[in-house]
Chains A and B, each alone.
Chain A
Amino acid sequence: MKVLNTRLITPRLCGLLLLIALPLVSLLGLMTGPVFIPLADILSISLSGDGGNSQEKLIIEIIRLPRVILSLLVGALLATCGALLQGLFRNPLADPALIGVSAGASVGASIVIVFGSMFTAGGLLLGLSAISVGAFAGAIIASVIIFRLATGPQGTSVATMLLAGIAISALAGAATNTLSYLADNDMLRRISLWQMGNLQGASWDRVGLCALTAAFLAVLIPREAGALNAMLLGESEARHLGVNVEWLKRRLIIYSALGVAISVAVAGVIAFVGLMVPHVIRLLVGPDHRALLPLSALAGAILLVAADALARVVITPAELPVGVVTALLGAPFFLWLLVVQRRRT
């Protein structure tokens, strides 16, 4: 006889803990970096508008604050989209990379880096560099191709989507490799750094763009929680529970492609946040999407701010790409997950 299913904490307690952790981790993110800024100075700068010294004030206003907010938003977007896709694929191991967004974004970014001279005339668009625009376009194109491949007269098959996602990702990987081969040393370095993800390019424009996307998704995604729960039973079961499954699948794919594409455009490929965060939340409070989605957003935000703070201090004065930090944390976790799941079945 197996033991009773005891969830570790209630959703309410989990939400409370995360809401307490969020400002603390954010403050930590503001404090850490090549120049350490004490808590007292941060408080006086934020409360009175002056205090501290002018250098610290500049660092906070121009560098750290947008960077922390961008990390919060990107982390929240990635984790929420991961939760959406795991619900859509009914597989707790699904990841935003599955719909080809990351691979497509890599091709887009690499094209811009390698053939960049052609794009520089365009300048910045909404605070995004040409590389970000390329990444966003690549991400959207890849996910549209995969979605079209998986959609036939019978509707969208998530199984086909999975396979198409793998194939398109492989194809995109080959394209990125070809571009890397053509690239000179400087381009090569930029391509590989971009693929590791980093939040160095944080600016208020990017924060605005991300905040807009996050706000848009924050209005739309919670409405799908009930239907996503029904989807976990199976597509036909969800249909019998009154869910219009085909439209739901479309909406979920659009939301997650948009969320992940924006994140990739502003911060490069950041691995494992979308996989790891919803999974941990599910272990803590169970799979109910009404709790899972908001809690994943909070936890994803906290995780990315913490990972980014870590990335800034590990090898000061240089900094690690944040994607490396999340992967260093994420890969062992993923392996542990596989082992545990194997033992369970």
Chain B
Amino acid sequence: MLKIDSVGLTVSAVPLLDNISIDCPRGSVTALMGPNGAGKTSLLKVISGEHKASQGRVEINRQSREEWKPADIAQFMAVLPQSSTLEFAFTSEEVVALGRTPHATGTVRDAEIITAALAKVDASYLAQRSFVQLSGGEKQRVQLARVLAQIWDHFEYEGEYEGEHEGDAPTDGILLLDEPSAAFDLAHQLMLIDIVQQISARGVTVVMVMHDLNLAAKCADQMVFMNCGHCTAVGTVTELLTPELIKKVFSVDAEVITHPVQGTPMVVV
């Protein structure tokens, strides 16, 4: 679904990314992790098309990133930035409605989706509130509802998914999240994980930048450790969450234990 092939990025003579290759199959969850300035957001911006790769290429649905028109790609790919500055007093509902901008599904269907998206992120009670007056976590939840509304038709469909192979259906969704949980309280961090698992199970490919290793371990199919613009390691959660790699990438001494109930690896510092 999404293929990053030896991507390099240099902005004003500063190399930000070097030879990154990651393959994200349909319905997979990829967590980009690493210290500040490792290039996680830059990589996300190359995928989202904000930066043009200096070397290599990004392929979305077997088509080069540059060949996609903004209006076409917005049909199935949504991007949640780290933070947003909205100076105008839209209500939360109107902010979520902006997620329907690329679609012509009609006001009735859009209204349904907006209500459902707000409910999904536990923000129904914010619908009529002015976005500018919300707290940081509430704003981020409303923005999450907005990007979910944008790709809603790609995971809330009736009946079973019909296409079997990757790339068969051009309508598979892609969701890019940049530190989505940074402003969330504990309950909403778990809500986010739940949503990511739900939508990826229904075919949406998710790539997210995360700082919390344990949170990422709960839902990531693959982890990518980045450092200084390089890709240090790519693999499953169990492959990457080792004291040696964590020391190498984050310069932190950590223990990795097994979750007593779920059996997933847990990082303890």
- Residues of A bordering B, CB below 8 Å: 2, 4-5, 90-92, 226-227, 229-230, 232-234, 236-237, 239-245, 282, 286-288
Contact = CB atoms under 8 A, between A and B. Distances in A.
A232 B101 contact: no
B81 A92 contact: no
A106 B95 CA distance: 40
B50 interface: yes
Contact of B89 (A4, A241, A282): A282
Given A240-B79, A242-B75, A229 B91 contact: no
Nearest to B50: A236
Interface centre among A92, A229, A233, A287 (most CB of B within 10 A): A233
Given A4-B128, A230-B101, A243 B85 contact: no
Nearest to B78: A240
Interface residues of B, number: 32
A232 B128 contact: no
15 contacts: A2-B129, A4-B129, A90-B88, A92-B87, A227-B101, A232-B86, A232-B87, A233-B95, A234-B86, A236-B50, A236-B79, A241-B101, A242-B72, A286-B89, A286-B91
Contacts of B86: 232-234
Contacts of A229: 98, 101
Contacts of A227: 101
Given A90-B85, A229-B101, 17 more contacts: A4-B128, A5-B129, A90-B87, A90-B88, A226-B101, A227-B101, A230-B101, A233-B95, A233-B98, A234-B81, A234-B85, A239-B70, A240-B74, A242-B71, A242-B101, A243-B101, A287-B90
Given A241-B99, A243-B70, A236 B81 contact: yes
Nearest to B129: A5
Contacts of B60: none
Interface in B211-226: none
Contact of A241 (B74, B88, B91, B94): B74
Given A240-B78, A286-B94, A91 B101 contact: no
Contacts of B91: 5, 286
A4 B130 CA distance: 7
B90 A232 contact: yes
B150 interface: yes
Contacts of B243: none
Contacts of A282: 88-89
A244 B71 contact: yes
Interface string B2-26: 0000000000000000000000000
A2 B133 contact: yes
B205 interface: no
Contacts of B129: 2, 4-5
Contacts of B95: 233
A65 B78 CA distance: 53
B87 to A, nearest CB: 6
B35 interface: no
Contacts of A288: 90, 94
Contact of A92 (B49, B74, B88): B88
A254 to B, nearest CB: 20
A4 B78 CA distance: 29
A245 B50 CA distance: 11
B81 A241 contact: no
Interface in B88-107: 88-91, 94-95, 98-99, 101-102
A79 B91 CA distance: 23
Contacts of B99: 241
Interface in B30-75: 48-50, 70-75
